[in-house]
Structure 1
Amino acid sequence: MNNESLQRMVLGNVEVIRVVEWQAPYAPARGLIPESSTEVWTDNEDWLAPNHWDPGSDRAVVALQTWVLRSNGRTVLVDTSVGNGRERPGSPLFHHWQGDFLGLLAQAGVHPQHVDVVVNTHLHADHVGWNTLGVEGGWVPAFPNAQYLIPAADDFHYGPDNSYGNGLREDDRLIYEDSIAPVHQAGQAVLWDGAYRIDEHLTLESAPGHTPGSSVLRLESAGDRAVFVGDLLHSPVQILQPCWNSCFCLNPAQAVDSRRRILERAAAARELVVPAHFGGAGAVEVRKEGQGFTLGPWAASGTERATGGH
């Protein structure tokens, strides 16, 4: 099943399938990571290019992707990409997006009615879009039998009680109305805060800063460990310098604290770090180096013990 769009690995007793909808140069490197230096990109060109940086255009390369976890007989989706036909006037790339997300899931053997759990690590447009499907007269959950695990802090912040993200972006209201509210109306939303155990292998944990409810998903099974970090990281240069935020972080100081805390644990526990948007292999181990971090081995798809876990 290993091709450009579908990759598989097994961590302990959990099968992990990576479903890549899109990967390409996305934004100017120092536009996406404003505090990053020119030198960190050019000095690391040998491994940043071509999967994380395009030197010719000086644009960061990102992927839109979903991670499918088969754990304890259940199918779990981690984030749901952009969604087709959405009104996103503030995000030109996502506005009226048309992709083959459900077709890719089908190629991976995942059919909507068989999805048991949908995890939204946070409520940005490219993490909740396929929560729902457009039907005549509105939107309905795309996965009719699934529980949708939604961080309570994000649900409040981006919901009507907080006037859709304090009314700063029209897109926030549109995202909530077409991708979150229908899940509530169908009775499939589960709000959580702090920590939430999905099963014996999978646990959600709050990691705020990027958004008020940003979260990570920890996997621990038969000695293998991984942490799905959502948008805690947009580029590997943030591993080298965890004090660098993306341009999308709402609370920069809090985001730095969460990023450093998660990376500290990942390095100590040899967790495979799985960000939402890394291109290439998509996931990497992290090593402690002085007061900072460096990159260890990248994940190898199609393997049983891709992380070399212990």
Structure 2
Amino acid sequence: MPQPLRPPGSAPSWSVGDTVIHRIDEVILPPETGPWLLPGATADVVQRTNWLAPDFADEAGTLHLAVHSFAVETAGLRVLIDTGIGNGKIRPNPAWHNLHTPYLERLAGVGFAPESVDLVILTHLHTDHVGWNTRPDGHGGWTPTFPHARYITSRVESDYWDGADIDDSRRRMLADSVQPVRDSGQLDLIDVRAEGTDIAAGLRLVPTPGHTPGQVAVAVHSAGRSAVVTGDCIHHPVQLADPALCSSVDVDPDRAARTRRDLLADLADTDTLLLGSHFAPPTAGLVRTHGDTYRLIPVPGRVIHPPQR
């Protein structure tokens, strides 16, 4: 079963110019997630990539993976990037099923009470990225968790799932975590250009197709500094060492690998901070050329604790 992370009210945070990015923890994923998600990242492959230990893998070659959101304070806006798995939802994956975590308390601990969130960015419409879109409405249904927020995702992503032949579990996820936002009028579909599309001051959606057709990464720019939140373009730092390693749930693995290579080539040896949507702590780092591939140099966030009452 998944394990809880930090207590409510503490969150690692990074400054990117005048923008602050907080990691809002939901769960650490169990060890068996790695072999299922990245079957090519076998223990010997991971052990050969010795810079992964101890943060991103253990000495036995077991990958460390987590689920979290990023809460971004920028230009007077409170922006949430992805919303995790959610509480009390029926899921076939036991690591996601019927969770009860203090996610909302963690979010409020950095000043993001649900009523204060202005914008929710959904990098793609997978179960572990949309769950806290909604919470129980008290009548057996679901209502948007962030009542005043504009929820955005790419139009390509939404159109794909509207037309895809999906199983019952994904149909349930869309019904409990996406459709209530659509019904409330809060879902806003964005046409994302090849070069990226600005959605707010210092925030740009960048197309990263392959894992899903309309997946996006989120580029942050402020006062001459920059960061990129990966979505599932990169699930784990082992994919820096071998960008050809693909997820078992990539819709188009070849395209996903090309997208990953292009993104890493753009970030390599720059000062742009990479924040992985499933990277275990310390979660962020700088991409550096390492032989004929890449490695991640960790950049831990500072921990903010709430004031004593």
What is residue 307 of structure 1 aligned with on the other side? none
Q: Distance in 1 between matches of 2:33 and 2:77?
A: 39
**What's the secondary structure of 1:285's corresponding residue?**
strand
CA contact (8 A) 1:157 1:166 kept: no
Find runs of 4+ consecutive structure 1 residues off by over 6 angstroms: none
Deviation of residue 30 (structure 1)? 3.7
Q: Deviations over 1:250-302 (max 9, x none)?
A: 1101101111111111115431111101012101111234542222x312312
Deviation of residue 31 (structure 1)? 3.2
Q: Could you state the TM-score of these two structures normalised by the residue count of structure 1?
A: 0.88
**What's the secondary structure of 2:255's corresponding residue?**
helix
User: Is structure 2 residue 67 aligned with structure 1 residue 69?
Assistant: no
User: Is structure 2 residue 49 aligned with structure 1 residue 44?
Assistant: yes
> In the alignment, residue 146 of structure 1 is paired with which amino acid?
A
What is residue 18 of structure 1 aligned with on the other side? 23
Q: 1:205 to 1:223 in 2, by over 3 A?
A: same
Q: Deviations over 1:163-187 (max 9, x none)?
A: xx312x3221111111111111111
What is residue 176 of structure 1 aligned with on the other side? 174
What is residue 57 of structure 2 aligned with on the other side? 53
Q: Distance in 2 between matches of 1:128 and 1:21?
A: 12
What is residue 142 of structure 2 aligned with on the other side? 139
CA RMSD, Structure 1 to Structure 2 (Å): 1.9
Q: Distance in 2 between matches of 1:271 and 1:184?
A: 34
CA contact (8 A) 2:80 2:121 kept: yes
What is residue 224 of structure 2 aligned with on the other side? 223
**What's the secondary structure of 2:197's corresponding residue?**
strand
Q: Distance in 2 between matches of 1:186 and 1:25?
A: 35
What is residue 119 of structure 2 aligned with on the other side? 117
What is residue 252 of structure 2 aligned with on the other side? 251
Q: 1:146 to 1:268 in 2, by over 3 A?
A: same
Structure 1: any 5+ residue segments left out of the alignment? Answer: 304-310
What is residue 295 of structure 2 aligned with on the other side? 294
What is residue 101 of structure 1 aligned with on the other side? 103
CA contact (8 A) 1:21 1:101 kept: yes
How many residues are aligned here?
292
**What's the secondary structure of 1:61's corresponding residue?**
coil
Q: 1:11 to 1:24 in 2, by over 3 A?
A: same
**What's the secondary structure of 2:178's corresponding residue?**
helix
**What's the secondary structure of 2:32's corresponding residue?**
strand
> In the alignment, residue 112 of structure 2 is paired with which amino acid?
V
Deviation of residue 76 (structure 1)? 0.2
> In the alignment, residue 277 of structure 1 is paired with which amino acid?
H
Deviation of residue 200 (structure 1)? 2.5
> In the alignment, residue 117 of structure 2 is paired with which amino acid?
V
Q: Deviations over 1:117-145 (max 9, x none)?
A: 00110111110000011111411110000
> In the alignment, residue 166 of structure 1 is paired with which amino acid?
D
Q: Which range moved further: 117-126 or 194-203? A: 194-203
Q: Distance in 2 between matches of 1:101 and 1:63?
A: 13
> In the alignment, residue 82 of structure 1 is paired with which amino acid?
I
Deviation of residue 23 (structure 1)? 1.9
What is residue 39 of structure 2 aligned with on the other side? 34
> In the alignment, residue 273 of structure 1 is paired with which amino acid?
L
What is residue 308 of structure 1 aligned with on the other side? none
CA contact (8 A) 1:232 1:275 kept: no
Q: 1:51 to 1:290 in 2, by over 3 A?
A: closer
**What's the secondary structure of 1:166's corresponding residue?**
coil
User: What does residue range 4-15 of structure 1 map to in structure 2 within 5 Å?
Assistant: 6-15=11-20
Q: 1:52 to 1:289 in 2, by over 3 A?
A: closer
> In the alignment, residue 144 of structure 1 is paired with which amino acid?
P
Q: Distance in 1 between matches of 2:75 and 2:29?
A: 34
CA contact (8 A) 1:25 1:59 kept: no
> In the alignment, residue 72 of structure 2 is paired with which amino acid?
L
> In the alignment, residue 93 of structure 1 is paired with which amino acid?
A
> In the alignment, residue 72 of structure 1 is paired with which amino acid?
A
> In the alignment, residue 302 of structure 1 is paired with which amino acid?
R
What is residue 306 of structure 1 aligned with on the other side? none
Q: Distance in 2 between matches of 1:40 and 1:25?
A: 19
Q: Distance in 2 between matches of 1:53 and 1:32?
A: 14
Q: Distance in 2 between matches of 1:84 and 1:43?
A: 37
What is residue 83 of structure 1 aligned with on the other side? 86
What is residue 185 of structure 1 aligned with on the other side? 183
Identity value in percent: 34
